[in-house]
Amino acid sequence: MNKQIRALLAGTTMLMASAGWATAEDVEVLHWWTSGGEAAALNVLKENLEAEGIGWQDMPVAGGGGEQAMTVLRARVTGGNPPTAVQMLGFDIQDWAALGVVADLNELAAEESWDAVVPAALQDFSKFDGKWVAAPVNVHSTNWVWANKAIFDELGLAQPTSWDELVAALDAIEAAGYTAVAHGGQAWQDATIFDAVVVSTGGPEFYKAAMIDLDPEALGSDTMKEAFDRMAVIRSYVDDNFSGRDWNLATAMVINKEAGVQFMGDWAKGEFLNAGKVPGEDFLCFRFPGTQGTVTFNADQFVMFEVGEEGRDAQKKLASAILDPGFQIAFNKVKGSVPARTDVAGDELDACGQQGMMELAEAAAAGHLYGSMAHGHGAPAAVKNAVYDVVTAHFNGEYDSATAVEELVAAVEGAQ
Protein backbone atom coordinates (compact mmCIF):
# COMPACT_ATOMS: atom_id res chain seq x y z
CA MET A 1 0.00 0.00 0.00
CA ASN A 2 2.83 2.38 0.82
CA LYS A 3 4.38 2.15 -2.66
CA GLN A 4 1.03 2.73 -4.35
CA ILE A 5 0.29 5.78 -2.27
CA ARG A 6 3.77 7.17 -2.79
CA ALA A 7 3.34 6.88 -6.54
CA LEU A 8 -0.03 8.61 -6.39
CA LEU A 9 1.38 11.41 -4.26
CA ALA A 10 4.37 12.16 -6.49
CA GLY A 11 4.45 15.79 -7.44
CA THR A 12 1.58 16.88 -5.17
CA THR A 13 3.54 18.19 -2.16
CA MET A 14 3.37 21.86 -3.15
CA LEU A 15 -0.32 21.60 -3.98
CA MET A 16 -1.08 20.04 -0.62
CA ALA A 17 0.89 22.67 1.25
CA SER A 18 -1.23 25.40 -0.29
CA ALA A 19 -4.55 23.59 0.05
CA GLY A 20 -6.72 25.50 2.49
CA TRP A 21 -10.06 24.73 4.05
CA ALA A 22 -13.20 26.30 2.61
CA THR A 23 -14.62 27.43 5.93
CA ALA A 24 -12.42 27.99 8.95
CA GLU A 25 -14.99 26.63 11.41
CA ASP A 26 -16.04 23.56 9.45
CA VAL A 27 -14.67 20.04 9.50
CA GLU A 28 -15.02 17.51 6.71
CA VAL A 29 -14.92 13.97 8.04
CA LEU A 30 -14.42 10.91 5.87
CA HIS A 31 -15.69 7.71 7.49
CA TRP A 32 -17.47 4.42 6.85
CA TRP A 33 -19.99 4.52 9.70
CA THR A 34 -23.11 4.11 7.58
CA SER A 35 -25.21 1.50 9.42
CA GLY A 36 -28.02 2.63 11.72
CA GLY A 37 -26.14 2.06 14.96
CA GLU A 38 -22.95 3.63 13.62
CA ALA A 39 -24.75 6.70 12.30
CA ALA A 40 -26.46 7.18 15.67
CA ALA A 41 -23.07 7.09 17.40
CA LEU A 42 -21.56 9.55 14.95
CA ASN A 43 -24.40 11.99 15.62
CA VAL A 44 -23.11 12.32 19.19
CA LEU A 45 -19.87 13.78 17.85
CA LYS A 46 -21.65 16.00 15.33
CA GLU A 47 -23.89 17.47 18.02
CA ASN A 48 -20.97 18.11 20.36
CA LEU A 49 -19.13 20.04 17.67
CA GLU A 50 -22.21 21.97 16.56
CA ALA A 51 -22.63 23.14 20.15
CA GLU A 52 -19.18 24.70 19.83
CA GLY A 53 -20.04 26.38 16.53
CA ILE A 54 -18.17 23.89 14.35
CA GLY A 55 -19.96 22.87 11.16
CA TRP A 56 -19.83 19.22 10.09
CA GLN A 57 -19.42 18.21 6.46
CA ASP A 58 -20.18 14.51 6.28
CA MET A 59 -18.33 12.27 3.83
CA PRO A 60 -19.58 8.71 4.37
CA VAL A 61 -18.19 5.91 2.22
CA ALA A 62 -20.05 2.62 2.68
CA GLY A 63 -18.02 -0.51 3.37
CA GLY A 64 -17.64 -2.13 6.77
CA GLY A 65 -13.88 -2.71 6.60
CA GLY A 66 -12.95 0.75 5.30
CA GLU A 67 -11.27 -0.40 2.07
CA GLN A 68 -13.49 1.81 -0.11
CA ALA A 69 -12.89 4.77 2.19
CA MET A 70 -9.12 4.39 1.76
CA THR A 71 -9.56 4.39 -2.03
CA VAL A 72 -11.48 7.66 -1.83
CA LEU A 73 -8.86 9.11 0.51
CA ARG A 74 -6.03 8.33 -1.90
CA ALA A 75 -7.85 10.24 -4.62
CA ARG A 76 -8.49 13.22 -2.34
CA VAL A 77 -4.91 13.44 -1.10
CA THR A 78 -3.53 13.01 -4.61
CA GLY A 79 -5.71 15.91 -5.69
CA GLY A 80 -4.30 18.12 -2.96
CA ASN A 81 -7.63 18.36 -1.16
CA PRO A 82 -7.52 16.06 1.88
CA PRO A 83 -10.44 15.92 4.33
CA THR A 84 -10.00 17.44 7.78
CA ALA A 85 -10.11 14.04 9.45
CA VAL A 86 -10.40 10.43 8.37
CA GLN A 87 -11.58 7.39 10.29
CA MET A 88 -8.72 4.92 10.18
CA LEU A 89 -7.49 1.68 11.71
CA GLY A 90 -4.17 0.32 12.91
CA PHE A 91 -1.34 0.01 10.44
CA ASP A 92 -3.12 2.23 7.90
CA ILE A 93 -2.43 5.12 10.28
CA GLN A 94 1.27 4.34 10.24
CA ASP A 95 1.31 4.06 6.43
CA TRP A 96 -0.22 7.50 5.96
CA ALA A 97 1.89 9.12 8.66
CA ALA A 98 5.05 7.82 6.98
CA LEU A 99 4.14 9.89 3.91
CA GLY A 100 4.30 13.14 5.85
CA VAL A 101 0.75 14.22 4.99
CA VAL A 102 -0.85 14.12 8.45
CA ALA A 103 -1.13 16.83 11.09
CA ASP A 104 0.95 16.91 14.28
CA LEU A 105 -1.31 16.74 17.36
CA ASN A 106 1.48 16.75 19.95
CA GLU A 107 0.74 20.20 21.34
CA LEU A 108 -2.93 19.37 21.97
CA ALA A 109 -2.04 15.94 23.35
CA ALA A 110 0.36 17.52 25.84
CA GLU A 111 -2.22 20.11 26.92
CA GLU A 112 -4.81 17.39 27.58
CA SER A 113 -2.43 14.68 28.91
CA TRP A 114 -3.35 12.05 26.35
CA ASP A 115 -0.23 10.04 27.20
CA ALA A 116 -1.55 9.43 30.71
CA VAL A 117 -5.05 8.29 29.76
CA VAL A 118 -4.75 6.36 26.46
CA PRO A 119 -3.53 2.72 26.75
CA ALA A 120 -0.08 2.03 25.38
CA ALA A 121 -1.47 -0.57 22.96
CA LEU A 122 -3.52 2.19 21.29
CA GLN A 123 -0.71 4.73 21.37
CA ASP A 124 1.33 2.33 19.26
CA PHE A 125 -1.04 3.22 16.42
CA SER A 126 -1.99 6.80 17.43
CA LYS A 127 1.63 7.97 17.25
CA PHE A 128 4.25 8.01 14.53
CA ASP A 129 7.88 8.73 15.36
CA GLY A 130 6.76 9.67 18.86
CA LYS A 131 4.23 12.27 17.67
CA TRP A 132 0.47 12.06 18.05
CA VAL A 133 -1.19 11.95 14.62
CA ALA A 134 -4.60 10.48 15.50
CA ALA A 135 -7.30 10.85 18.13
CA PRO A 136 -8.64 7.46 19.33
CA VAL A 137 -12.41 7.24 19.69
CA ASN A 138 -12.89 3.81 21.19
CA VAL A 139 -11.68 0.27 21.63
CA HIS A 140 -13.61 -2.49 19.91
CA SER A 141 -13.07 -6.10 20.84
CA THR A 142 -13.67 -8.50 18.00
CA ASN A 143 -14.03 -12.00 19.49
CA TRP A 144 -17.69 -11.71 20.53
CA VAL A 145 -20.73 -13.90 19.93
CA TRP A 146 -24.14 -12.19 19.62
CA ALA A 147 -27.09 -14.49 20.19
CA ASN A 148 -30.86 -14.25 20.00
CA LYS A 149 -31.99 -14.91 23.57
CA ALA A 150 -35.48 -16.05 22.57
CA ILE A 151 -33.99 -18.84 20.45
CA PHE A 152 -31.61 -19.88 23.23
CA ASP A 153 -34.47 -19.90 25.76
CA GLU A 154 -36.78 -21.79 23.41
CA LEU A 155 -34.17 -24.53 22.92
CA GLY A 156 -32.93 -24.52 26.52
CA LEU A 157 -29.39 -23.61 25.43
CA ALA A 158 -26.73 -22.33 27.81
CA GLN A 159 -24.01 -20.01 26.57
CA PRO A 160 -21.36 -22.35 25.14
CA THR A 161 -17.88 -22.12 26.68
CA SER A 162 -15.97 -24.61 24.51
CA TRP A 163 -15.79 -25.57 20.85
CA ASP A 164 -17.73 -28.80 21.41
CA GLU A 165 -20.47 -26.92 23.27
CA LEU A 166 -20.65 -24.37 20.44
CA VAL A 167 -21.07 -27.08 17.80
CA ALA A 168 -23.80 -28.74 19.89
CA ALA A 169 -25.65 -25.41 20.22
CA LEU A 170 -25.39 -24.72 16.48
CA ASP A 171 -26.71 -28.21 15.73
CA ALA A 172 -29.72 -27.58 17.97
CA ILE A 173 -30.43 -24.18 16.40
CA GLU A 174 -30.24 -25.59 12.89
CA ALA A 175 -32.42 -28.57 13.81
CA ALA A 176 -35.09 -26.15 15.08
CA GLY A 177 -35.33 -24.56 11.63
CA TYR A 178 -33.26 -21.42 12.17
CA THR A 179 -30.12 -20.34 10.39
CA ALA A 180 -27.46 -21.27 12.93
CA VAL A 181 -24.81 -18.66 12.00
CA ALA A 182 -25.65 -15.27 10.51
CA HIS A 183 -22.73 -14.24 8.34
CA GLY A 184 -21.82 -11.97 5.48
CA GLY A 185 -19.48 -13.42 2.88
CA GLN A 186 -16.94 -10.61 2.76
CA ALA A 187 -13.22 -11.13 3.30
CA TRP A 188 -12.98 -9.04 6.46
CA GLN A 189 -15.97 -10.85 7.99
CA ASP A 190 -14.45 -14.25 7.19
CA ALA A 191 -11.20 -13.08 8.78
CA THR A 192 -13.02 -11.81 11.88
CA ILE A 193 -14.24 -15.34 12.54
CA PHE A 194 -10.80 -16.73 11.71
CA ASP A 195 -9.17 -14.53 14.37
CA ALA A 196 -11.46 -15.99 17.03
CA VAL A 197 -11.08 -19.54 15.78
CA VAL A 198 -7.28 -19.32 15.84
CA VAL A 199 -7.32 -18.12 19.47
CA SER A 200 -9.88 -20.76 20.40
CA THR A 201 -7.92 -23.55 18.73
CA GLY A 202 -4.37 -22.73 19.78
CA GLY A 203 -4.67 -20.31 22.68
CA PRO A 204 -3.47 -16.71 23.02
CA GLU A 205 0.27 -17.44 22.69
CA PHE A 206 -0.37 -19.36 19.47
CA TYR A 207 -2.43 -16.47 18.10
CA LYS A 208 0.41 -14.05 18.83
CA ALA A 209 2.99 -16.32 17.24
CA ALA A 210 0.95 -16.87 14.09
CA MET A 211 -1.01 -13.68 13.48
CA ILE A 212 1.26 -11.00 14.99
CA ASP A 213 4.79 -12.44 15.01
CA LEU A 214 4.05 -14.26 11.72
CA ASP A 215 6.13 -17.25 12.80
CA PRO A 216 6.29 -19.69 9.84
CA GLU A 217 6.28 -22.70 12.19
CA ALA A 218 3.03 -21.58 13.82
CA LEU A 219 1.47 -20.64 10.48
CA GLY A 220 2.29 -24.05 9.04
CA SER A 221 1.42 -26.13 12.10
CA ASP A 222 -1.10 -28.89 12.71
CA THR A 223 -2.84 -26.45 15.06
CA MET A 224 -3.41 -24.07 12.13
CA LYS A 225 -4.81 -26.95 10.09
CA GLU A 226 -7.25 -27.65 12.93
CA ALA A 227 -8.27 -23.97 12.88
CA PHE A 228 -9.09 -24.26 9.18
CA ASP A 229 -10.99 -27.49 9.89
CA ARG A 230 -13.10 -25.57 12.40
CA MET A 231 -13.70 -22.79 9.87
CA ALA A 232 -15.11 -25.43 7.53
CA VAL A 233 -17.46 -26.57 10.28
CA ILE A 234 -18.70 -23.01 10.80
CA ARG A 235 -19.20 -22.65 7.05
CA SER A 236 -21.62 -25.59 7.17
CA TYR A 237 -23.95 -23.61 9.44
CA VAL A 238 -24.17 -20.51 7.21
CA ASP A 239 -27.19 -19.99 4.93
CA ASP A 240 -26.91 -20.18 1.13
CA ASN A 241 -27.41 -16.43 0.61
CA PHE A 242 -24.46 -15.25 2.70
CA SER A 243 -22.21 -14.13 -0.15
CA GLY A 244 -21.64 -10.37 -0.18
CA ARG A 245 -24.05 -9.70 2.69
CA ASP A 246 -23.16 -6.62 4.75
CA TRP A 247 -22.37 -7.32 8.39
CA ASN A 248 -25.30 -5.27 9.73
CA LEU A 249 -27.74 -7.30 7.61
CA ALA A 250 -26.35 -10.43 9.24
CA THR A 251 -26.87 -8.78 12.63
CA ALA A 252 -30.47 -8.07 11.63
CA MET A 253 -30.99 -11.80 11.09
CA VAL A 254 -30.18 -12.38 14.77
CA ILE A 255 -32.27 -9.38 15.87
CA ASN A 256 -35.27 -10.64 13.86
CA LYS A 257 -35.01 -14.22 15.19
CA GLU A 258 -34.02 -15.59 11.81
CA ALA A 259 -30.60 -16.75 13.02
CA GLY A 260 -29.18 -17.95 16.29
CA VAL A 261 -25.75 -16.32 16.51
CA GLN A 262 -23.35 -13.96 14.79
CA PHE A 263 -19.57 -13.92 15.33
CA MET A 264 -18.73 -10.24 15.12
CA GLY A 265 -17.04 -7.36 16.88
CA ASP A 266 -18.91 -5.28 19.43
CA TRP A 267 -20.06 -2.75 16.84
CA ALA A 268 -22.84 -5.29 16.28
CA LYS A 269 -24.25 -4.28 19.65
CA GLY A 270 -25.00 -0.84 18.24
CA GLU A 271 -27.44 -2.45 15.81
CA PHE A 272 -29.27 -4.25 18.63
CA LEU A 273 -29.49 -1.04 20.64
CA ASN A 274 -30.64 0.93 17.60
CA ALA A 275 -33.43 -1.63 17.20
CA GLY A 276 -34.54 -1.07 20.80
CA LYS A 277 -33.17 -4.39 22.08
CA VAL A 278 -31.83 -4.84 25.61
CA PRO A 279 -28.81 -6.97 26.56
CA GLY A 280 -29.74 -9.94 28.69
CA GLU A 281 -33.41 -9.59 27.76
CA ASP A 282 -33.41 -9.70 23.96
CA PHE A 283 -29.87 -10.71 23.11
CA LEU A 284 -26.82 -12.31 24.68
CA CYS A 285 -23.17 -11.29 24.43
CA PHE A 286 -20.33 -13.66 25.26
CA ARG A 287 -16.80 -14.43 24.13
CA PHE A 288 -16.23 -16.86 21.29
CA PRO A 289 -15.95 -20.20 23.10
CA GLY A 290 -12.35 -20.99 23.94
CA THR A 291 -11.19 -17.37 23.87
CA GLN A 292 -12.25 -16.42 27.39
CA GLY A 293 -9.53 -14.31 29.01
CA THR A 294 -8.19 -13.11 25.66
CA VAL A 295 -9.32 -10.01 23.77
CA THR A 296 -8.52 -9.21 20.17
CA PHE A 297 -9.13 -5.55 19.47
CA ASN A 298 -9.23 -2.75 16.99
CA ALA A 299 -9.62 0.95 17.70
CA ASP A 300 -11.33 3.54 15.55
CA GLN A 301 -9.20 6.66 15.36
CA PHE A 302 -9.49 9.91 13.47
CA VAL A 303 -6.32 10.87 11.66
CA MET A 304 -5.95 14.60 11.09
CA PHE A 305 -4.57 15.61 7.71
CA GLU A 306 -2.68 18.78 6.84
CA VAL A 307 -5.41 21.13 5.62
CA GLY A 308 -3.76 24.54 5.77
CA GLU A 309 -3.64 27.23 8.43
CA GLU A 310 -7.33 28.21 8.17
CA GLY A 311 -8.62 24.79 9.10
CA ARG A 312 -6.34 24.02 12.02
CA ASP A 313 -8.42 25.58 14.77
CA ALA A 314 -11.50 23.56 13.83
CA GLN A 315 -9.34 20.48 13.48
CA LYS A 316 -7.94 20.98 16.96
CA LYS A 317 -11.47 21.35 18.37
CA LEU A 318 -12.50 18.13 16.63
CA ALA A 319 -9.56 16.20 18.12
CA SER A 320 -10.23 17.66 21.57
CA ALA A 321 -13.93 16.76 21.33
CA ILE A 322 -13.05 13.16 20.47
CA LEU A 323 -10.95 12.70 23.62
CA ASP A 324 -13.40 14.57 25.86
CA PRO A 325 -14.37 12.17 28.72
CA GLY A 326 -18.07 12.96 28.44
CA PHE A 327 -18.05 12.29 24.72
CA GLN A 328 -16.13 9.05 25.17
CA ILE A 329 -18.90 7.68 27.38
CA ALA A 330 -21.81 9.10 25.35
CA PHE A 331 -20.40 7.83 22.06
CA ASN A 332 -19.51 4.34 23.24
CA LYS A 333 -22.90 3.87 24.90
CA VAL A 334 -24.37 4.07 21.41
CA LYS A 335 -21.57 2.53 19.34
CA GLY A 336 -21.21 -0.69 21.33
CA SER A 337 -17.50 -0.25 22.02
CA VAL A 338 -15.68 0.93 25.15
CA PRO A 339 -13.85 4.23 25.73
CA ALA A 340 -10.30 4.79 24.50
CA ARG A 341 -9.56 6.56 27.80
CA THR A 342 -8.76 4.55 30.89
CA ASP A 343 -9.84 7.25 33.36
CA VAL A 344 -13.60 7.13 32.71
CA ALA A 345 -16.08 5.03 34.65
CA GLY A 346 -18.25 2.52 32.83
CA ASP A 347 -21.28 2.89 35.10
CA GLU A 348 -23.40 4.38 32.31
CA LEU A 349 -22.65 1.54 29.90
CA ASP A 350 -25.03 -1.39 29.52
CA ALA A 351 -24.29 -4.89 30.74
CA CYS A 352 -22.35 -5.90 27.61
CA GLY A 353 -20.35 -2.66 27.71
CA GLN A 354 -19.41 -3.14 31.35
CA GLN A 355 -18.45 -6.74 30.62
CA GLY A 356 -16.34 -5.53 27.71
CA MET A 357 -14.49 -2.97 29.85
CA MET A 358 -13.81 -5.53 32.56
CA GLU A 359 -12.59 -8.21 30.15
CA LEU A 360 -10.42 -5.72 28.29
CA ALA A 361 -8.70 -4.71 31.52
CA GLU A 362 -8.25 -8.34 32.58
CA ALA A 363 -6.80 -9.33 29.21
CA ALA A 364 -4.41 -6.39 29.27
CA ALA A 365 -3.25 -7.28 32.78
CA ALA A 366 -2.65 -10.90 31.74
CA GLY A 367 -0.77 -9.90 28.58
CA HIS A 368 -3.54 -11.36 26.42
CA LEU A 369 -4.72 -8.17 24.72
CA TYR A 370 -3.80 -8.48 21.05
CA GLY A 371 -4.39 -6.37 17.98
CA SER A 372 -6.80 -8.04 15.58
CA MET A 373 -5.21 -9.28 12.37
CA ALA A 374 -8.58 -9.11 10.64
CA HIS A 375 -8.96 -5.43 11.48
CA GLY A 376 -5.52 -4.12 10.66
CA HIS A 377 -4.02 -4.20 14.16
CA GLY A 378 -2.07 -7.45 13.99
CA ALA A 379 0.07 -7.08 10.89
CA PRO A 380 0.61 -4.53 8.09
CA ALA A 381 -1.96 -4.22 5.32
CA ALA A 382 -0.07 -6.34 2.79
CA VAL A 383 0.03 -9.27 5.19
CA LYS A 384 -3.56 -8.77 6.28
CA ASN A 385 -4.76 -8.83 2.68
CA ALA A 386 -2.73 -11.94 1.95
CA VAL A 387 -4.34 -13.71 4.91
CA TYR A 388 -7.76 -12.50 3.74
CA ASP A 389 -7.25 -14.16 0.36
CA VAL A 390 -6.38 -17.55 1.85
CA VAL A 391 -9.07 -17.53 4.53
CA THR A 392 -11.82 -16.55 2.10
CA ALA A 393 -10.69 -19.03 -0.55
CA HIS A 394 -10.82 -21.81 2.06
CA PHE A 395 -14.17 -20.62 3.44
CA ASN A 396 -15.62 -20.76 -0.08
CA GLY A 397 -14.33 -24.29 -0.66
CA GLU A 398 -11.43 -23.51 -3.00
CA TYR A 399 -8.88 -25.14 -0.66
CA ASP A 400 -9.03 -28.00 1.76
CA SER A 401 -7.49 -27.30 5.16
CA ALA A 402 -4.09 -28.82 4.40
CA THR A 403 -3.79 -26.77 1.23
CA ALA A 404 -4.95 -23.65 3.07
CA VAL A 405 -2.12 -24.03 5.57
CA GLU A 406 0.44 -24.29 2.76
CA GLU A 407 -1.07 -21.29 0.99
CA LEU A 408 -1.11 -19.28 4.23
CA VAL A 409 2.61 -19.81 4.85
CA ALA A 410 3.46 -18.85 1.27
CA ALA A 411 1.11 -15.85 1.22
CA VAL A 412 2.45 -14.35 4.44
CA GLU A 413 6.04 -14.89 3.37
CA GLY A 414 5.35 -13.24 0.02
CA ALA A 415 3.66 -10.24 1.61
CA GLN A 416 6.50 -9.37 4.00
Last residue of a domain, one of 359, 381, 398: 359
Q: Same domain, yes or no, for 303 and 292?
A: no
Q: Same domain, yes or no, for 274 and 369?
A: yes
Q: Same domain, yes or no, for 20 and 96?
A: yes
Q: Would you say residue 325 has pLDDT above 80?
A: yes
Q: Same domain, yes or no, for 399 and 271?
A: yes
Per DSSP, 84 falls in state: S
Distance CA 175, CA 197 (A): 23
**Can you give the pTM of this predicted structure?**
0.85
- Looking at residue 53, what is its pLDDT? 87
The DSSP line for 350-407 is -HHHHHHHHHHHHHHHHT-EEE-TTTTSSS-HHHHHHHHHHHHHHHTTSS-HHHHHHH
Q: Would you say residue 266 has pLDDT above 50?
A: yes
- Looking at residue 299, what is its pLDDT? 94
Q: Same domain, yes or no, for 315 and 393?
A: no
> How many domains, in total, are found in the chain?
2
Residues 110-136: what's their mean pLDDT? 94
For 161-179, what is each residue's pLDDT tens digit? 999 999 999 999 999 999 9
Q: Which of 25-39, 127-141, 249-263 has the lowest mean pLDDT?
A: 25-39
Distance CA 106, CA 361 (A): 26
Q: Same domain, yes or no, for 323 and 399?
A: no
Q: Same domain, yes or no, for 177 and 259?
A: yes
Query: Is 140 in a helix, a strand, or coil?
Result: strand
- Looking at residue 2, what is its pLDDT? 52
Q: Same domain, yes or no, for 343 and 397?
A: no
Residues 344-368: what's their mean pLDDT? 91
- Looking at residue 393, what is its pLDDT? 98
Q: Same domain, yes or no, for 285 and 324?
A: no
- Binned at pLDDT 50, 70 and 90, residue 361 comes out as confident
Of 88, 55, 56, the closest CA to residue 72 belongs to 88
Q: Same domain, yes or no, for 304 and 232?
A: no
- Looking at residue 309, what is its pLDDT? 80
Q: Would you say residue 264 has pLDDT above 60?
A: yes
Q: Would you say residue 19 has pLDDT above 50?
A: no
Q: Would you say residue 377 has pLDDT above 70?
A: yes
Residues 375-399: what's their mean pLDDT? 96
Stronger pLDDT, 222 or 34, i.e. the higher one: 222
Residues 60-87: what's their mean pLDDT? 90
- The CATH number of whichever domain residue 349 belongs to comes to 3.40.190.10
Between helix 90-98 and helix 381-395 the angle, nearest 10°, is 140
Host domain of residue 36? 2-140+299-359
Q: Same domain, yes or no, for 200 and 318?
A: no
Q: Same domain, yes or no, for 399 and 290?
A: yes
